Amino acid sequence: MPALPAKLPNTGTTIFTVMSALAAEHGAVNLGQGFPDFGADPALLQAVTEAMAAGHNQYPPMTGVPALRLGVAAKLNALYGAAYDADRDITITAGGTQGLITALHACVGAGDEVLIIEPAYDSYDPAIRLAGAVPVGVPMTMDYRLDWAAVRAAITPRTRALVLNTPHNPSGRVATADDLRELERLAEQHDLFVVSDEVYEHMVFDGAPHQSVARYPALRERSFLVSSFGKNFHVTGWKVGFVAAPPTLSAAFRRLHQYTVFTVHTPTQHALAAYLADPAPWQALSAFYQAKRDAFRAALDGTPLKLLPCEGTYFQTVDYRAVSTHGALPELDFARWLTTEIGVAAIPLSVFYQQPQQRGHVRFCFAKRDDTLAEAAQRLARLG
Q: pLDDT tens digits for 331-342?
A: 999 999 999 999
Compute CA distances 290 → 31, 143, 183, 311, whole Å: 17, 21, 28, 9
Does residue 116 come out as left (phi exceeding 0), alpha (psi in the -120 to 50 range) or beta?
beta
Strand-pairing partners, residue 193, are 161
Establish whether domains 15-40+283-380 and 57-278 are of one fold: no
Locate the domains of the chain by residue range: 15-40+283-380, 57-278
Q: pLDDT tens digits for 241-276?
A: 999 999 999 999 999 999 999 999 999 999 999 999
Q: pLDDT tens digits for 279-326?
A: 999 999 999 999 999 999 999 999 999 999 999 999 999 999 999 989
Spell out the residues 6+ positions from residue 377 whose beta carbon is closer than 8 angstroms to its own.
Answer: 296, 299, 300
- Of the pLDDT bands very low, low, confident and very high (cuts 50, 70, 90), residue 13 is confident
- Of the pLDDT bands very low, low, confident and very high (cuts 50, 70, 90), residue 86 is very high
Asked whether residue 195 carries a pLDDT value surpassing 90, the answer given is yes
- Of the pLDDT bands very low, low, confident and very high (cuts 50, 70, 90), residue 192 is very high
To the nearest whole number, what is the mean pLDDT of the chain?
96
What integer pLDDT is reported at residue 12 of this predicted model?
A: 79
Asked whether residue 357 carries a pLDDT value surpassing 90, the answer given is no
- Topology of the domain covering 15-40+283-380: Aspartate Aminotransferase, domain 1 (3.90.1150)
| pTM confidence score | 0.96
CATH number of the domain at 57-278, out of 3.40.640.10, 1.10.3720.10, 3.40.47.10, 3.40.50.150? Answer: 3.40.640.10
What integer pLDDT is reported at residue 267 of this predicted model?
A: 98
By three-state DSSP, how is residue 348 classified? strand
Asked whether residue 6 carries a pLDDT value surpassing 90, the answer given is no
Q: How far apart are CA 213 and CA 195, in angstroms?
A: 9
By three-state DSSP, how is residue 25 classified? helix
- Residue (of 91, 111, 80, 106) closest to 195 by Cα position: 106
Residue type, 298: A
Pairing of β 347-348 and β 344-345: unpaired
Q: pLDDT tens digits for 215-242?
A: 999 999 999 999 999 999 999 999 999 9
Q: How many residues does the chain have?
A: 384
- Residue pair 61/257 in contact (Cβ under 8 Å)? The answer is no
Buried b (16+ CB within 10 A) or exposed e, 39-71: ebeeebeebbeebeeeebeeebeebbbebbbbb
Q: How far apart are CA 314 and CA 105, in angstroms?
A: 28
